[in-house]
Structure 1
Amino acid sequence: MQNSLTRKPIEVKISTVVAVAVILNESLLSSLELALKEMTGGSPDFFDDEFAIIDVESIAAETLDWPAIIALFKSCGLHAVAVRNAAEEQHATIRAHGLSIDVVSKAKPELPREQQEAPEIQKPVTATPMPTAVEHIPAMIIDTPVRAGQRVYARGCDLIVTASVNNGAEVIADGSIHIYAPLRGRALAGARGNTNARIFVTSMEAELVSIAGIYQTFDSGFPKLSPNQPIQIKLVGDSIEVSSLKST
C-alpha cells in the first residue's frame, strides 16, 4: 500500500535508444520499394522493429509522400521516428506526419575575437601545457550468453562478450566488439559513426555485421577463410572486409 501512495503517476528517466540511419538517394517510391525488397529479400522482420532516422540531404524532401514512406518502412520492420537534413521550411510538414526533426550541427566553432584580429607576430617559445586528462570509459564485459531477442549496447566504449551471441540476438557498441565465442546473431560496431571500430570473433556464424552503419549479411554464405582462425571485420572505404586474424 505504501508503494502505491509514494509512486508518481509518471517517471521520466534517461534511456539510450539506438536507431538506424536510412539515407535516401532517390525520392521515387517505386525505386525505394524495389531497393528495400532486394535488401531484405522480402522478409517483413529483416530489421526487427528498428527505429529509423531518414536522411534526406541528397534529395528534395518536398517531393516525398511521407505517409507512403512511413508505411513502406513499417512493412520492412523499420519504424520511422525522425528526419535528418531537411530544409527548415519542410519541418512543419514533417512534424505533421508524426516525425521528429533530427538536428545535426555542422557549424564550426568561431575563434575568439582577439584571435581573429591579432596581427601575425612571432611569439616567444613557451612550455606546452600538459593536455587535460580524458575520462576513460572501460569496456563493457558480458560473460553470459546473449539470447534471441536480447540487445546489448555498450555506450561510448568497446564491448567484450565471452559467451555466445545466439541467433536473433544483437550486440551493439560505439567502439569495437570482441566476441570470444560463436557469433550467430548481429554485431554492430561504431554505432555512432566510428569508422575505425572493428569486430573480432573466434567463430563466425553471424546473421549481420555492421561498422559505422555500413552492414553486410551472409545469406549467400560466408567468405572462405583459414580454418581455426579468429576473424576480424573492419571497414575498408565503404565496404565491409571479413578476414582471418593471423598472428604476426
Structure 2
Amino acid sequence: MTGMQANRNNGKTIEFKGGTLQAMTAVVRDPNVMKLADAMHAMLGGMGEFFAGEPTIIDLSGAALPERMDWSGLASLLRRYGLQPVAVQGIPEAYGDGARKAGLAVLNSDTLKTAPETSPKKVPSAASAISPEATPAAQVAAPAHEPATRTMVIDRPLRSGQQVYARGGDLVVLGGVSNGAEVIADGNIHCYGPLRGRALAGAQGDQTARIFTTSLGAELVSIAGVFRTFERGLPEEVAGRAALITLTGSGDKAQLRLDPLQLG
C-alpha cells in the first residue's frame, strides 16, 4: 500500500463531530436495589424492555447514599426495563471510582451546563408511589417550562415500535396509536383514533398539558413526568371511550385524572 493510500484510509478511520444526546434522567431517591425493584414493578407493572433502549442518566443528587453502592445491581435493574444507563450525576467524588468501574460516566455541574436546554426528559424515578397505577415519582428534569408554540400533525396510524416526538409544541395524531408505539409532546397530545400505546404529554415539565383521545386503551399515559399504567385495566367509564387526561395536585400529591370526554 502506498503512503498516499494509507493516509487516505487513516483519514476515514474515525471522525469526531459535535452533537446532542437525548437522554432520559432517572431521578433515584433511594438507591436500595430491592426497594427500587419493587417501586419500578409497581410503576411499570413488571413490563420488561419497557423503555426500548433509551440512554439514561442516573441522578442521585437527592438520595442518601449507602457506604457501599451496588452500581452493577442498579444498572442491571434499569436495563431490565429497557433503559441503557450511561452516566451518573449528583454523587460525591468518593463514589466516582465505583461508578466508573461499573461503566458509568460521572457528570459534574460543569458538564451539565453544556447540556442543551431543549432536550426533553422523561424521568422515571422509583421513589414512593401514590398507588401501583399512578405516581408522582417520575419527575421531569428539564428547564422552566416555555409555552408550546408549534403543532405537529401525523396523518397516519403509528405501529408498534414507532415513536413520534413533538418538540416545543402539541402533537395531533389523526390515526390510531398501536400497542408498543409511543407519542411524546412538550405540549398537548390529541389522538383522533384509538390510543393503545404510550402517550407522554408535557415532556418538558408543562403541568397544564393534556391528553385527548376519542378511544382510550393506553398502556401508559404521562403528563409532566407523572406516569400511570393500566396493567389492571382502564376504569370502565373511560375504557375504549373518548377521554381527557389531566394532571391534578402537585409534589407528592400529583396524580393523573381520567375523565370521559363529551364529543358533540
Question: Given the two structures, how large is their TM-score scaled by the length of structure 1?
Answer: 0.73
Between the aligned partners of 1:194 and 1:77, the Cα distance in structure 2 is 25
The question of 1:223 aligning with 2:235 is answered: yes
Equivalent residue letter for 2:63: S
Equivalent residue letter for 1:97: A
Aligned twin of 1:154: 166
Between the aligned partners of 2:220 and 2:108, the Cα distance in structure 1 is 26
Aligned twin of 2:30: 26
Between the aligned partners of 1:211 and 1:61, the Cα distance in structure 2 is 32
Aligned twin of 1:196: 208
Contact 2:149 2:169 in 1 (8 A): yes
Equivalent residue letter for 2:28: L
Equivalent residue letter for 1:193: G
User: Which blocks of at least 5 consecutive residues in structure 2 are unaligned?
Assistant: 1-8, 114-145
Aligned twin of 1:72: 77
Contact 1:203 1:230 in 2 (8 A): yes
Post-superposition Cα deviations, 1:145-179, rounded to whole Å, max 9, x if no partner, equal 11111110111111111111111100111111111
CA RMSD across the alignment: 3.1
Equivalent residue letter for 2:59: D
Contact 2:210 2:244 in 1 (8 A): yes
Corresponding residue to 2:261 among 242, 245, 248: 245
Aligned twin of 2:137: none
Equivalent residue letter for 1:240: L
Post-superposition Cα deviations, 1:16-42, rounded to whole Å, max 9, x if no partner, equal 6252x3232223222222323333443
Contact 1:48 1:77 in 2 (8 A): yes
Contact 2:216 2:239 in 1 (8 A): no
Contact 1:61 1:86 in 2 (8 A): no
Contact 2:44 2:229 in 1 (8 A): no
Specify whether residues 18 and 191 from structure 1 end up closer, same or farther in structure 2 by C-alpha distance, changes over 3 A only. farther
Post-superposition Cα deviations, 1:73-128, rounded to whole Å, max 9, x if no partner, equal 112322112324333554555345333427467xxxxxxxxxxxxxxxxxxxxxxx
Contact 2:151 2:170 in 1 (8 A): yes
Residue aligned with 2:40, SS = helix
Aligned twin of 1:86: 91
Contact 1:234 1:240 in 2 (8 A): yes
Specify whether residues 72 and 226 from structure 1 end up closer, same or farther in structure 2 by C-alpha distance, changes over 3 A only. closer
Equivalent residue letter for 1:243: D
Question: Given the two structures, how large is their TM-score scaled by the length of structure 2?
Answer: 0.69
The question of 1:55 aligning with 2:67 is answered: no
Give the fraction of aligned pairs with identical amino acids, expressed as a percent.
Answer: 40
Between the aligned partners of 2:51 and 2:200, the Cα distance in structure 1 is 13
Aligned twin of 2:125: none
Contact 1:53 1:80 in 2 (8 A): yes
Equivalent residue letter for 1:86: I
Specify whether residues 25 and 47 from structure 1 end up closer, same or farther in structure 2 by C-alpha distance, changes over 3 A only. same
Corresponding residue to 2:224 among 207, 212, 225: 212
Aligned twin of 2:130: none
